Structure 1
Amino acid sequence: MHVALWITAGLLALVALAGGITKTFMPLDKLSQHDGAAWIRGTSPTFVRTLGVLEILAAVGLVLPAVLDIVPVMVPVTAACWIALMVGAMITHGRLGQAKLVMVNVVYLALAIFIVVGRFGPTSFAA
């Protein structure tokens, strides 16, 4: 179970890092041309960049606290925050009729729930 939680956290961190780097550093006019980023067209650039930075921080928070053994409880806390982010993403993509992207967000949400339950429960770092 411990290995599965590490792998899940690593995969979710890669997803968060990729999305965060894209939203933070890619020109918004270029980013908004992608189907999955249609929501950007009606959003302020500051909001998009803020989401990008939050996703980069999530990538760090899903792995680094446990690797360094400094406040490892931040791993499931970060995963819980990721759940909130995915709920917002599902609502946004649902409003735009992007069912496939909603399903992708459901998968990411499920991975985060697995981390929260596992790391706050039987496979916590304190155990």
Structure 2
Amino acid sequence: MDIAYWIVAALLALFYLYAGGKKVVQGKEELRPMMGWVDRVPMPLVRTIGVLEVLGAVGLLLPPLTGIAPVLAIAAAVGLALVQVGGVVVHLSRGEVGQIWLNAVLLVTAAVTAWLATTWT
């Protein structure tokens, strides 16, 4: 189970470091082609979401690696799942039903990561 956790957590962390990092450093014009919802959400909230995603990615990796409060990996995975619930809500409110597939995949992956983390905490 440890190997499965590290594979899934590393892939999830890479995704969130990339996506969250983009939200933190790029402006609305650069984000719009990939994330049309940024027109409807204030930029401070977009930046906050980006910071939460980056912190979640770090939380998936650092606590288990250091052995300091490894239960935080579960909290990080649950937090990332909640971010995706919010993403589904935003897409559905915009009528973008076809856009929620990525949110659904990330939600399930975060839930699996949380479950895998419970096997060693």
Deviation at 1:119, TM superposition (A): 1.8
Larger displacement relative to structure 2 (55-64 or 90-99): 90-99
Aligned to 1:16: 16
Query: How many residues were matched structurally?
Result: 121
The one-letter code matched in structure 2 to 1:124 is W
Q: Distance in 1 between matches of 2:10 and 2:98?
A: 23
> Which digits, 9 at most, give the CA deviation of each residue in 1:56-103, with x for residues without a partner?
111100111111111111001110111111100011112223334311
Q: Distance in 1 between matches of 2:7 and 2:98?
A: 24
Q: TM-score, normalization: structure 1? A: 0.88
Q: TM-score, normalization: structure 2? A: 0.92
Residue correspondence of structure 1 range 60-99 to structure 2 within 5 A:
60-99=58-97
Q: Considering only aligned residues, what root-mean-square deviation do their CA atoms show, in Å?
A: 1.3
The one-letter code matched in structure 2 to 1:19 is A
Q: Which runs of 5+ in 2 are unaligned?
A: none
Aligned to 1:49: 47
The one-letter code matched in structure 2 to 1:21 is G
Identity %: 34
